[in-house]
């Protein structure tokens, strides 16, 4: 991966709907050359997909929280989270806790219902997000 690939990746992270022509203009390549680079990045798995970035507030997800979980039942807890529609991310972590769960939901009551469903897995700590300063900042 060279500097041109990095520029292409940064631009696609900003806006995955850039045309190949526009990408080419920005990085100093022809449309066919930039198309080839993007295709190669896709084939290598560097670009794993393209998604719409949603505004959580606009779809009613106004409560964001992180839940740290300490459990002896890792597989069961992972399966539980996979079936919870409000779980956005699930990370296995080191330290006192086994998991860090990002939850986005419509209300504190729904967050409370999620945490109540976690009681059977062990100890947990909930941190409600008051505000977010940086999101989706993927630096190389």
Going along the chain from its start, the domains and CATH numbers come out as 3-43 (1.10.10.10), 56-128 (3.30.70.920)
The per-residue pLDDT for range 39-72, each reduced to its tens digit, is 999 999 999 999 888 888 899 999 999 999 999 9
How sure is the predictor about 133, in pLDDT bands with cuts at 50, 70 and 90? confident
Q: What is the pLDDT of residue 10?
A: 92
What DSSP string describes 21-41? HHHHHHHT--HHHHHHHHHHH
Rounded CA separation 57/122 (Å): 31
Instruction: Tell whether the model's pLDDT for residue 136 goes beyond 80.
Output: no
What's the mean per-residue pLDDT of the chain? 94
**Position 138 confidence tier, pLDDT thresholds 50, 70, 90:** low
Q: Which tokens is 64 given?
A: 């964001």
At 140 the pLDDT is 57
**Residue 10: C-alpha distances to residues 16, 22, 46, 50, 59 (Å):** 10, 14, 12, 13, 27
């Amino acid at each position: 991966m060279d500097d041109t690939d990095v520029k292409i990746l940064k631009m696609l992270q900003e806006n995955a709907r850039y045309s190949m022509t526009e990408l080419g203009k920005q990085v100093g390549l022809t449309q066919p050359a930039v198309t080839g680079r993007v295709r190669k990045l896709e084939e290598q798995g560097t670009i794993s997909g393209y998604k719409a970035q949603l505004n959580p507030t606009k779809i009613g997800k106004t409560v964001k929280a992180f839940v740290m979980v300490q459990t002896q039942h890792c597989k069961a807890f992972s399966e539980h989270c996979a079936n919870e529609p409000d779980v956005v991310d699930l990370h296995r972590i080191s330290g006192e806790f086994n998991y860090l769960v990002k939850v986005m939901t419509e209300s504190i009551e729904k967050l409370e219902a999620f945490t109540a469903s976690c009681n059977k897995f062990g100890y947990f700590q909930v941190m409600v997000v008051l505000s977010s300063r940086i999101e989706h900042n993927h630096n190389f």
